[in-house]
A and B are shown apart, each in its own frame.
Chain A
Amino acid sequence: EPEVTQTPSHQVTQMGQEVILRCVPISNHLYFYWYRQILGQKVEFLVSFYNNEISEKSEIFDDQFSVERPDGSNFTLKIRSTKLEDSAMYFCASTVAPGSGANVLTFGAGSRLTVL
């Protein structure tokens, strides 16, 4: 069964450092997402991406965050200067085309980011 793959599975970084989290969505999917989950808390929407541009972003997704689809397969989330509160599990998700009114997301296993 097709999977969304994420790397790294765990990254530890120092506050102020740049981090890039990588995702390979399912190949025929068109919409891509990043969500995050602070330990034990709810899953929060960060950003959605379609047709090589951001379609929506949340208040969390400030100027320190950026997303990119540098080639036909990878979808990356960059945090420019990490803060302690960025420590969380980051999930990438993708879906074929939500226009049918059935926006079922396939999630990756997540990248755990620890900021020290």
Chain B
Amino acid sequence: SQQGEEDPQALSIQEGENATMNCSYKTSINNLQWYRQNSGRGLVHLILIRSNEREKHSGRLRVTLDTSKKSSSLLITASRAADTASYFCATDLNTGFQKLVFGTGTRLLVSP
């Protein structure tokens, strides 16, 4: 499996519902980040959680990190149609290198 794998690959919900996306990774990390990508556009940083943190909130976003299971989840509460996008987790590896490794992404569709 790859360094970052999100599940589900696709998620379809109604406005107002919560959306939960999961990310698993393989190696030790400095931090884990979530990015959003609107169709055909660049990635936008949403939230970062450090390896010594377990949960973080930002507006309607809640991120958890379980380093023992090498997994993270992104919860979007009270979803809106404008949340429709692809969501990627990205790991900052604990190797001294400076790149981020992106996961496979979850495509979220929020219907009005």
Contact = CB atoms under 8 A, between A and B. Distances in A.
Interface of A: 4, 31, 33, 35, 41-45, 48, 50, 55-56, 89, 91, 93, 95, 98, 101-110, 112
A33 B99 contact: yes
Interface of B: 2, 30-31, 33, 35, 40-45, 48, 50, 88, 92, 97-105
A91 B35 CA distance: 14
Given A42-B104, A56-B99, A91 B42 contact: yes
Contacts of A101: 30-31, 50, 92
Given A33-B99, A48-B99, A98-B98, A43 B31 contact: no
A104 B98 contact: no
A105 B30 contact: no
A42 B105 contact: yes
Given A42-B103, A103-B92, A48 B98 contact: yes
A35 B35 CA distance: 14
A109 B101 contact: no
Contact of A104 (B2, B40, B48, B97): B48
26 contacts: A31-B98, A41-B104, A42-B2, A42-B88, A42-B102, A42-B104, A42-B105, A43-B43, A44-B102, A45-B100, A45-B101, A48-B99, A56-B97, A56-B99, A89-B40, A91-B43, A93-B43, A95-B98, A98-B92, A103-B30, A103-B98, A104-B48, A105-B43, A105-B45, A110-B40, A110-B41
